[in-house]
């Protein structure tokens, strides 16, 4: 049987006030697969990422990371295989310098000092932040914070990337760099976003979520061209995708990739 990076089976979660946040979520993410997670505000996308990352415990159902469940004494090892980039970058950047923030993951997971230095250097190179080592994170622009948050995860090379609105605040140059980086990544990638064009450029598959439920799961080219379904769930096609059929979009993306 092919290994599965992430598997959710009938997962449910309620907010503390009793409102249902995620209902019966079932999905599988294969190693190396890039999947877009789309939905309107309040659909439950961020909560779903937190459940996968083990930051929240489901009230029902099961979450497995490479076949193992949280709570079986191996949570640290499972979290080593996952990297989550939060939508709010100030939740992720808390150290005096960018270097310290990017080194935190490798240091926490026990990498030797020389390797930590190399991992920090490479993560900053990947995110275009070379020379930012001594900068204070709270003095960075919002786009620079976004890239620094991604670097904090890349530095320990997880097997699964969970990305919450990764293109927010990025200028066109940084956004293009992000697309190149995520296209070339070998990790499984689950990207929660409203940026449909980003999903088109990176993902072969899309999950559509609304009111806590996964309402569609299919090839990206087909779902991204289904204007009626997207609009029924609070999303709008960007101008660059309007009027395209699935085959047209596949051909265009094949040429661009």
Q: How confident is the model at residue 1 (pLDDT cuts 50, 70, 90)?
A: very low
Neighbours of 59 (CB within 10 A): 12
Average pLDDT of span 155-168: 97
Note the pLDDT of residue 257: 65
Note the pLDDT of residue 2: 57
Length of the chain measured in residues: 257
Beta pairing class for 82-85 and 213-219: unpaired
Note the pLDDT of residue 255: 72
Given a contact cutoff of 8 angstroms between Cβ atoms, the answer to whether 50 and 220 are in contact is no
Q: Which own/partner pairs from 70-76 qualify as long-range (CB within 8 Å, at least 24 positions apart)? A: none
Rounded mean pLDDT of the chain? 93
Beta pairing class for 34-38 and 188-192: parallel
**Fold of the domain spanning 6-81+160-256:** Rossmann fold (3.40.50)
Best CA proximity match to 24, nearest among 75, 62, 56: 62
pLDDT tops 90 at residue 95: yes
Q: What is the pLDDT of residues 5-38, one digit of tens each?
A: 999 999 999 999 999 999 999 999 999 999 999 9
pLDDT tops 90 at residue 73: no
Average pLDDT of span 127-132: 96
Average pLDDT of span 192-212: 95
Share of the chain above pLDDT 90, in %: 86
Note the pLDDT of residue 189: 98
Say whether 227 sits in a helix, a strand or coil: helix
Sequence spans of domains, the chain: 6-81+160-256, 89-157
255 or 59: which leads in pLDDT? 59
pLDDT tops 50 at residue 68: yes
240 or 65: which leads in pLDDT? 65
pLDDT tops 50 at residue 71: yes
Given a contact cutoff of 8 angstroms between Cβ atoms, the answer to whether 175 and 202 are in contact is no
Q: What is the DSSP string of 87-109?
A: SSGGGT--SSSHHHHHHHHHHHT
């Amino acid at each position: 049987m092919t290994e599965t990076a992430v598997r959710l089976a009938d997962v449910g979660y309620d907010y503390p006030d009793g409102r249902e946040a995620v209902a019966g979520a079932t999905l599988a993410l294969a190693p190396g697969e890039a999947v877009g997670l789309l939905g309107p505000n309040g659909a439950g996308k961020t909560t779903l990422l937190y459940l996968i990352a083990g930051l929240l415990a489901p009230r029902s159902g099961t979450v497995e990371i490479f076949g193992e469940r949280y709570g079986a004494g191996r949570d640290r090892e499972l979290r080593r295989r996952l990297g989550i980039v939060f939508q709010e970058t100030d939740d992720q950047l808390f150290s005096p310098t960018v270097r310290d923030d990017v080194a935190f993951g490798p240091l926490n997971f026990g990498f030797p000092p020389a390797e930590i230095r190399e991992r920090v250097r490479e993560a900053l190179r990947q995110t275009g932040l070379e020379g930012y080592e001594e900068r204070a994170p709270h003095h960075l622009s919002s786009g620079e914070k976004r890239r620094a948050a991604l670097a904090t995860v890349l530095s320990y090379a997880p097997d699964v990337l969970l990305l919450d609105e990764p293109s927010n605040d990025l200028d066109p140059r940084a956004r293009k760099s992000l697309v190149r980086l995520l296209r070339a990544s070998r990790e499984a990638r689950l990207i929660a976003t409203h940026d449909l064009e980003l999903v088109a450029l990176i993902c072969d598959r899309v999950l559509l979520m609304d009111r806590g439920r996964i309402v569609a799961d299919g090839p990206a080219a087909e779902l991204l061209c289904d204007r009626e379904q997207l609009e029924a769930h609070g999303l709008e096609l960007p101008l660059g995708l309007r009027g395209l059929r699935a085959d047209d979009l596949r051909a265009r993306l094949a040429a661009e990739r």
